[in-house]
Chains A and B, each alone.
Chain A
Amino acid sequence: MGLSRREFLKASAAAAAFAAAGAPGLSPFRSEAEAADAGVKWGKAPCRFCGTGCGVLVGVKDNRIVATKGDPQAPVNKGLNCIKGYFLSKILYGKDRLTKPLIRKGDKFVEASWDEAMTLIASKFKEAIAKHGPDSVAIYGSGQWTVFEGYAASKLFKGGIGTNNIEPNARLCMASAVTGFMTTFASDEPMGCYDDLDLGDTYFLWGANMAECHPILFSRMIDNRLKNPKVKIIDFGTRHTRTSQMADQYIRFNPQTDLALLNAIAHVIVKEKLYDENFVKNHVVFKKGKEKIGYGLEDKFKFADDPKPMTFDEYKKFLEPYTPEYASKLSGVPAAKIVELARLYADRSRKVNSLWTMGFNQHVRGTWINNLVYNVHLLTGKISRPGENPMSLTGQPSACGTAREVGTFTHRLPADMVVMNPEHRAKAEKIWGIPAGKIPAKPTYNATEMFRALDRGDIKVLWSQVTNPFQSMPNLNRYRRGARKGDGRFVIVSDIYPTRSTELADVILPSASWVEKEGMFGNAERRTHQWFKMVEPPGEARSDLWQIMELAKRLGHGALFPYKYVEKEMFEEYRKFGEGQGKDLAPYEAYTKTRGLRWPYVNGKETLWRYAEGYDPYVKQGEGIKFYKNKADHYKAVIWARPYEPAAESPDKQFPFWLCTGRVLEHWHTGTMTGRVPELKRAYPAAVCEMHPADAKGLGIKHLQKVKISSRRGSIVLPVDLNGRGKAEKGNIFVAFFDETKLINELCIDAYCPISGEPDFKKCAVKIEKA
């Protein structure tokens, strides 16, 4: 009996699904499955989308991707991908893929050769540097840059051109998580790993719609709960999502009041003496910083904290006003519920985890709220233990691996180092083989300030790679206009498709994407994952890495990149920064053979739980828990007394609603990749305004009717959705930011956390009228 090609493929599909479901023996189709895959070459790669970092096997035939599989050998996802995995098939193959450099001539773009484009770009760099100095040029990169791309950009700009004008779009998503880590532990990135999702039994989610934004991680938690009835998932949210639906409890709270809630939880734990006295005594110091720290709304806003030590008693006093009743008044969460959840947090028979993403990070007090969730874990000693950790979830596939670990920020160098520290600069100068004093000592601009500087003309030349700032910046109108003010400004945008950013560029460069180049990403659990090039990029598209090295050559900095096998040699050089620093990476070869490795990687072993004896090679026998990166505080972690302070702009009579923005399952960020799938647009065709039915009724609006939403900065017309997967609470609306025809970020306020520089995309005030 012969089977058609179609039947072979279905057999393959079923066999893979049986294997992934844990029952490979039950598949009757093994030989047919093999036949189906004949002629297809499979290679491993991390998924192109979120910070989960699932393993994918990419099937290539005749220089084209023809199939993908969940990678059965990937510990992250064990053979299964989420719905976005379907779109890996299409990211590279949209019809309007950029294939040639384009130079602006008036209102049009004209095709050019690489030589013409790079000659022009280099001349603009040279001119600006000569006339206005090295700080007049800048690069804006991405948590979707490969490790190599971020490292090359940092080396060129800091080590070659001599400017700290490098920022990633991760300033907009993870900066507060970073400053939270640095102020609490003196080292970036989580102490736990995804194994905590399998081993724990209590999961507090804070402002994180995991079911839609980290579906595979959510699945791991759910699989755990299906096996273990003790498992509880508590969803703290300002809107009801699919996550809320699947959680055991949904706790609705008023925007911004997370600050009061976590302090109230700490208040109960302290008052009822539920804290781990020994742990606090041995592993914690207390500090307070400045209060009323502002909102970053003025150009060139500067803030420096002034930490002062506190005693435990002083901290207890600080907590006194944060009674459950006070927090209840602010947040809308019943006082009894706050007490119940505080006791759940402290329950010694439970393995408690907290998980969060943008609700905490995109917050004008983002650093503070990250500190506050750590406070609860530090008071109870529920940290650095298998199955029990606070876990900051990462949005982008390499915000960790590239932006944070390589340090592609104005103030950073690799391996947690900072430009402000002369020893750090000296170490970088040595490894990079550049003259002492080359790396500037002062940070320049965070992302928001960088675009303000372009608007003012203090930055003349700005290069954007693998990101879409002229759709994603808050208070967007100002920055879009700024890009086209002329007067010596020159904007270069590298991307794979035309976007709302390429349309404002002076030069557009066609880039290679994902498996069209060799690459490396680092996910949210410190797992660095490598892949080889599997298909050729289309037309004349080239990797962003090639583009940076090409500019370097033309600016006389070619000596910074003396490599033959660029990716491997560059990585081996980069490794030197983290060696012996608790940030150890493995040799490049090791990554080519594995589905990623979690750092610190020492003596051939990954680290699953940092700071913990028996798991972290930096902690000696008998030391138990040691926060060994915080030498200044005798290797202890910091509990910070951080108060509740209101949002930058709260609803008032004129603008009575909260506007929150974010992502939805089917679209990735600004939709430049997923939007290419014309079919995807059917599932969630265009942006809508999620609204509560009572609010709609009050405004006389019906489901799918159009409304005009206005803030002090911009306005937009959208249909109202009263019945979507996400359900807004009263007084709140939610709009996703993927739709390039509906630039919701024009309404958002460019207020940011003064410590992290991360803008608050979740809170501003709007009014709503019938359109």
Chain B
Amino acid sequence: MPVSGVVLTCSDGCADAVAARIVDFSGVEVHGVLPEGRIVAVIEAESIDAEVDLVARLHEVDGVVTVRMAYHNFEDLS
């Protein structure tokens, strides 16, 4: 089950609302909301497919400006 750490950038003043919204996404754990509208989150999914789907959905959330990946571990995929 791959795991990744991502950083979301949000438009001015939207970070808290975005965090509240994405906390409901299955497979997304919000670990922090930083000043300057950045959110640190960890994503887990069954496959890379599902990870990418999830990240693509995060891109589409109102107030999300960018989603970038800091770390990706996929050691248990054969």
Contact = CB atoms under 8 A, between A and B. Distances in A.
B5 A86 contact: no
Interface in A284-317: none
- The residue among A14, A18, A215, A216 with the most chain B CB atoms within 10 A of its own CB is A14
A679 B49 contact: yes
A79 B5 CA distance: 11
Interface residues of A, number: 52
Interface stretch (A61-69, A346-354, A398-406): A61-69
Given A6-B1, A10-B42, A13-B4, A26 B69 contact: no
- The residue among B44, B72, B77 with the most chain A CB atoms within 10 A of its own CB is B72
A66 B34 contact: no
B70 A80 contact: yes
- The residue among B4, B9, B73, B74 with the most chain A CB atoms within 10 A of its own CB is B73
Given A18-B32, A66-B75, A13 B68 contact: no
The prevalent SS among residues of B at the interface is: strand
Contacts, number: 154
B5 A81 contact: no
Contacts of B9: 219, 222-223, 226
The prevalent SS among residues of A at the interface is: helix
A17 B55 contact: no
Given A20-B7, A23-B34, A14 B42 contact: yes
Contact of B67 (A69, A83, A666): A83
A678 B7 CA distance: 25
A247 B4 CA distance: 29
A457 to B, nearest CB: 45
B71 A69 contact: yes
Interface in A230-261: 246
Interface string A485-511: 000000000000000000000000000
Contacts of B6: 17
Contact of A21 (B2, B38, B77): B38
Contacts of A202: none
B3 interface: yes
Contacts of A683: 49, 52-53, 56
Nearest to B46: A679
Contacts of B53: 679, 682-683
Interface string A1-25: 0000010011011111111111100
- The residue among A79, A222, A226, A677 with the most chain B CB atoms within 10 A of its own CB is A226
A69 B70 CA distance: 5
A12 B5 contact: yes
Nearest to B56: A683
B12 interface: yes
A500 to B, nearest CB: 24
B56 to A, nearest CB: 6
A680 B49 contact: yes
B34 to A, nearest CB: 5
B72 A17 contact: no
Contacts of A36: 73
B40 interface: yes
Given A13-B5, A80-B7, A226-B37, A86 B70 contact: no
Contact of A86 (B7, B29, B42, B55): B55
Contact of B4 (A86, A222, A678): A86
Contact of B5 (A17, A677, A679): A17
A354 to B, nearest CB: 22
Contacts of B17: none
B65 interface: yes
Contacts of A93: 77
A6 B65 contact: no
A14 B1 CA distance: 16
Contacts of B3: 6, 9-10, 12-13
A23 B35 CA distance: 10
A247 to B, nearest CB: 12
Interface residues of B, number: 44
Contacts of A444: none
Interface in A193-229: 215-216, 218-219, 222-223, 226-227
A680 B12 CA distance: 31
Contacts of A219: 9, 66, 68
A666 B56 CA distance: 9
A79 B70 contact: yes
A293 B47 CA distance: 53
A68 B3 CA distance: 11
A14 B31 contact: yes
B29 A10 contact: yes
Contact of A666 (B29, B32, B52, B74): B52
Interface string B1-28: 1111111010110000000000000000
Given A14-B40, A17-B6, A86-B51, A70 B29 contact: no
Contacts of B71: 12-13, 15-17, 67-70
Nearest to B3: A9
Nearest to B60: A725
A14 B5 contact: yes
A21 B5 CA distance: 11
- The residue among A12, A79, A89 with the most chain B CB atoms within 10 A of its own CB is A89
Contacts of A246: 65
A83 B29 CA distance: 18
A368 B26 CA distance: 51
B65 A216 contact: no
A90 B52 CA distance: 13
Contacts of B36: 226-227
B69 to A, nearest CB: 5
A82 interface: yes
A26 B68 contact: no
Given A68-B71, A226-B37, A227-B36, 7 more contacts: A6-B3, A15-B5, A26-B32, A26-B34, A215-B68, A223-B9, A682-B49
Give 6 nearest A-B pairs by CB, closest first. A679-B49, A13-B5, A17-B5, A16-B71, A66-B75, A80-B68
Interface of B: 1-7, 9, 11-12, 29, 31-32, 34, 36-38, 40-44, 47-53, 55-56, 59, 65-75, 77
22 contacts: A6-B3, A10-B29, A10-B44, A14-B31, A14-B42, A17-B71, A23-B32, A67-B72, A82-B68, A82-B69, A83-B56, A87-B48, A89-B2, A89-B74, A89-B77, A215-B66, A222-B65, A223-B9, A677-B49, A680-B49, A682-B49, A683-B53
Interface of A: 6, 9-10, 12-23, 26, 36, 59, 61, 66-70, 79-83, 85-90, 93, 215-216, 218-219, 222-223, 226-227, 246, 666, 677-680, 682-683
